Structure 1
Amino acid sequence: MIDSRLQQAITRYKKAIEKFKTTIDASVPNQSANSQVVMDADQTTQKEASQKQLTPTQVFEVLTARDEVQAALADTTHTSGESLAAIAQLDKILKDNAGAIATICETVDWQTSFNPPKEAWWWSLQPERKPHKFWDQLDWFWSAVSISSLTISLGLVGDISSRFLTGGPDTLGAVAVSTQSILTLLTAGGALTLAGQEAYKRTLKRLKIPERFWHEISAGFSFLLVIGLLGLRLSLPQIATQYNKWGFNNYNEGDWGSAEENYQRAIKLNPDDTLTHFRLGLLYEELQKLDLARTEYQIAAQDNIPDAINNLSRLYILNKNYPVAANLLLKTLADEQKLKPSAETKHALLKNLGWARLMQSHYPDAEAKLLEAIDLQQSAKLTKNIATPHCLLAQVMEAQKDKKSALKEWETCIQYADIASSTDEDSWVITAQKRLTEQENGK
């Protein structure tokens, strides 16, 4: 037996449709009862007439009647073909007049007020709209722009975030990562998820933006996101410079842990920042991590930083790799006009070259370079590391059996030595003291 509730629901639905259809037909003259009402941008006369005659109450009556039919169908175990055919015919009339319902939807946002279920398609009817403008025909293109832009954005977010998160995020890194991630997720959610698309549509409706522009606006937002992320990506070298400055301040203050973190962040943001590599090498040398220091100096030396080349050559000497050290120093001094090292740096280059030559037993050349370093420190009035050339020259004199000149240099070595700032001078001062003690005992 057919459920009487379903029959009653169909009857109510039919009456609501008939009243609804009669109102629409009366508002549009010379239109037959079975004609389809389709809203189009050019049909302003029909739209205005419908708005004058059709009321939200009539539309709600039709939609709630359809709700009742659906509820009755769900509770009915036996349904006749006649009932289903009647429902299908009434549904067709409802869909054919979606344009009239859309005119009411513009002023009454019942989707937000009543929150109908997603399967209730009659609550979200939209008129069939034929493309009649150039931009409507390019919707596929704007959709492709949106998807492509989001793909690029996600790639940029991954690249930028991985750089900022090295060693754990700091305040600036956390803000940069969270901001770009939130913007990308919001844009991607609006374009790729059903919930995001619905929220996006509701927002544009509230802003009264015509639907024909929605694809273009979505593509515009996605493209602007790419531009913003690309700008952030291109600004990473400038941000790295700031981290370098913070690290250098930490280094001068003796906060070596923070200095290392900031240097590493700067290098991660801009691997080509050779100045940061050099400063990180200085820090590692202070920490006696000589292998790590050598690696950083090697990177900085590729950019022909004289101080980096000098420090790298010193580490090669300590590692007894004298030919490589001498070769680096000779090339740097030969390119002095191009590299323009400071007086202090040139003094250190000459000193280290003299040291390397000493260890190679090339005593005349060692003596010449060390004397040149001593002359430079006097003419340039240098005050740092001025004992080192004398300490080395004393060893050269000893190797050449000139004990008198050696003792004189050992005395100068002790006089100007600063063992607190130079680990090399500390060992040489000990040797100098032994030589002078031996001389006194010999007397």
Structure 2
Amino acid sequence: MLNKVIQLYEEELAVLEKSTKVSEEQILRVLTQRDRVHKFLRDTSDISEHILIKLFFLDTRLKKQANKINQQIQLADWRASLEVPTTFWWWFLQDENHRLDQFDWLWNALTIASLTASVSLVVDISTRFLSGGTSLISSFAIISQSVLTLLTAGGVLTQAGRIGVEKLLLSVGIKTDLWQETKLGISALLLFSLIIFKVSLPKIAEKYNQQALIDYETQNWDNAISNYQKSINLDADNAKAHRQLGLIYEQLQDLDKAQSEYRLAAQGNLLIAYSDLARLYLLQNKPAEAVSLLYVVQTQAKADQKLTVEDNFLLYNLHKNLGWARFQQQRYAEAQEELEKAIAFHKKLPSVNNYKKNGAAYCLLAQVFENLKNLEKANIQWELCIANGNNRLPEVDGWKAIARQRLKLGAR
């Protein structure tokens, strides 16, 4: 009877060996037939050497099928369902060692390192989004990145996750000796996607900048501040957002916060922020401090013929503030020279978007001419001050009031 059982074992094994794509039923028939062989071996006392040698040979052939079997099914699940004893070695078939398996420890270490880095990035990105308040964009970013990271980490680090991932790898035909490398690839891909996402945060921040600018132009201060702060949370080096926040705080007459934001913008090497800071010093009648800041702008600003709107705006403010500083220092000839340069750049500026003409240079030049006792030229500049002056700047609003008084007195 033992001969018959071994013969059936050999036949099932031969079917398994010849099959290019084995089924679970084929595997189960081989293993259960080996169970029967074991049962007859245990119950039979006198077994010939010939039968034993044949069995040894068949078992060697079965062990060579370990890779094929493990690629198709999870023996661990079957063992758990059947409560297979550990002595039944054929239920514990291990894949033959592949030459790459000696590096599995390295792949596992790199996988854990990649997942650790991914978790750190998710925490950092989530903190940046949440610190500025939640929105549809921030909620989607946090949830999507967190779910991907948790799924990847669970698939690699937890037993249930590993079983699920390995089943998936089997279903797509990935060999078991490449599983560790594949898991590393998945974790590395996740890490790469998170790095790309973090690198793109400044672009997302720019979207908030654009919305904040619309809010600023419509004087929706609360929304503008909120959007600029979100932008800064996503891009800490966002000098433009800091500068715009400074402008808003100026409108709200919170000059301490405005100065703080201008300083942060200046640290980002935004030259216009130096000019904004200088203007605050001039409002406090501190021309020496203003000139020190304006010197930074003067040494770095463009002076060629190919100037952009931003360049013209910067140079206008540079010369206007230098003229203002020289006026406060009673250096009227120098003030006149700087203010006339400012007016030349002022004429090149559009009257839309971020570059509204404020007319401050005309108002200042009028005051310079008054101190030079040239009232005719002063009145001309006072008229231009009224025509071009932007009341959004408090000093310009005050100067326009003076202009109306001067021109009214001159008409008498």
After TM superposition, give the deviation of residue 145 of structure 1 in Å: 2.2
Q: Are the structure 2 counterparts of residues 174 and 289 from structure 1 closer, same or farther at C-alpha, using a change threshold of 3 Å?
A: same
**Conservation of the 8 A alpha-carbon contact between 1:413 and 1:429:** no
Rg larger for: 1
Residue 211 of structure 1 is aligned with which of 172, 176, 200? 176
The answer as to 2:103 corresponding to 1:132 is no
Distance 1:369 1:207, change over 3 A: closer
Q: Which residue of 2 aligns with 1:312?
A: 277
How far the C-alpha of 1:276 sits from its partner, in A, is: 3.0
* Cα distance, 1:416–1:128 mapped onto 2, change above 3 Å: same
Matches within 5 A, 1:101-180: 116=81, 120=83, 122=85, 126-129=91-94, 131-180=96-145
Confirm or deny: 8 A CA contact 1:190 1:200 kept in the other structure. Answer: yes
Structure-2 separation of matches of 1:22 and 1:289: 97
Letter of the aligned partner of 2:393 in structure 1?
A: S
Gap change, CA 1:256 and 1:381, over 3 Å in 2: closer
Cα shift at 1:438: 6.2
Flag the 1:184–1:121 CA change in 2: closer, same or farther, 3 A: farther
Structure 1 residue corresponding to 2:394, chosen from 423, 428, 433:
423
Q: If the length of structure 2 is used for normalisation, what is the TM-score? A: 0.72
The structure-2 alpha-carbon separation of the partners of 1:170 and 1:121, relative to structure 1 and needing over 3 Å to count, comes to farther
| Cross-structure match for 2:45 | none
1:170-197 deviations in Å (ceiling 9; x for gaps): 2222222211111111111111112222
Going from structure 1 to structure 2, the CA distance change for 1:111 and 1:330 (only over 3 Å counts) comes to: closer
1:362 matched to 2:351? The reply is no
SS in 1 for 2:131: coil
Q: 2:367 aligns with which of 395, 399, 410?
A: 395
Read off the aligned partner of 2:367 and give its amino acid letter: Q
1:134 is displaced (CA, Å) by: 0.7
Indicate if the aligned counterparts of 1:344 and 1:382 stay in contact, CA closer than 8 A.
no
Contact 2:357 2:390 survives alignment (8 Å): no
Which one of the candidate residues 235, 239, 242 is aligned to 2:204? Answer: 239
The structure-2 alpha-carbon separation of the partners of 1:128 and 1:387, relative to structure 1 and needing over 3 Å to count, comes to closer
Match of 1:299 among 256, 264, 270: 264
User: How many pairs were matched up?
Assistant: 373
Deviations 1:409-431 (A, max 9, x none): 67426642645333212212333
Cα distance, 1:153 vs. partner?
1.2
Tell me the distance in 1 between the aligned counterparts of 2:78 and 2:102: 34
Corresponding position of 2:185: 220
2: CA distance, partners of 1:326 / 1:61: 98
Cα deviation code 1:217-266 (max 9, x no counterpart): 21221121122212222222332233322332333344333333332222
Match of 2:5 in 1: 23
SS of residue matched to 1:165: helix
Matched letter for residue 244 of structure 2: R
**CA deviation digits over 1:327-382, x for unaligned, max 9?**
2224434544358564444333222212112222333322332344345556x588
- Indicate how the Cα distance of structure 1 residues 158 and 438 shifts in structure 2: closer, same or farther if over 3 A, else same: same
Structure 2, unmatched stretches of 5+, are 38-58
Task: Indicate the SS of the match to 1:149.
Answer: helix
Using the TM superposition, give the Cα deviation of residue 156 of structure 1 relative to its aligned residue in structure 2, in angstroms: 1.7
Query: What displacement does 1:283 show?
Result: 3.0
User: Match for 2:322 among 343, 353, 360?
Assistant: 353
1:332 and 2:297 matched: yes
Aligned counterparts of 2:162 and 2:363: Cα–Cα separation in 1: 77
CA distance in 2, matches of 1:239, 1:197: 35
Cα distance in 1 for partners of 2:268, 2:36 equals 79
CA contact (8 A) 1:59 1:101 kept: no
Q: Which amino acid aligns with 1:27?
A: Y
Q: 1:208 to 1:388 in 2, by over 3 A?
A: closer
Taking structure 1 as the reference length, the TM-score comes to: 0.67
Indicate conservation of the 8 Å contact 1:374/1:386, yes or no: no
C-alpha separation in 2, matches of 1:108 and 1:139: 21
Q: Distance in 2 between matches of 1:136 and 1:144?
A: 14
Q: RMSD of aligned C-alpha atoms?
A: 4.5
Of stretches 381-390 and 311-320 in structure 1, the one that deviates more from structure 2 is 381-390
SS at match of 2:367: helix
**Structure 2 residue aligned with 1:80:** none
Determine the structure 2 residue equivalent to 1:248.
213
CA distance in 2, matches of 1:371, 1:108: 85
* Residues 129-169 of structure 1 deviation map (CA, whole Å, 9 limit, x = unaligned): 36432123222222122112111211221222222222123
Contact 2:74 2:167 in 1 (8 A): no
How much identity, in percent, do the aligned residues show? 33
CA displacement at 1:106 relative to structure 2: 8.1
Distance 1:250 1:121, change over 3 A: farther
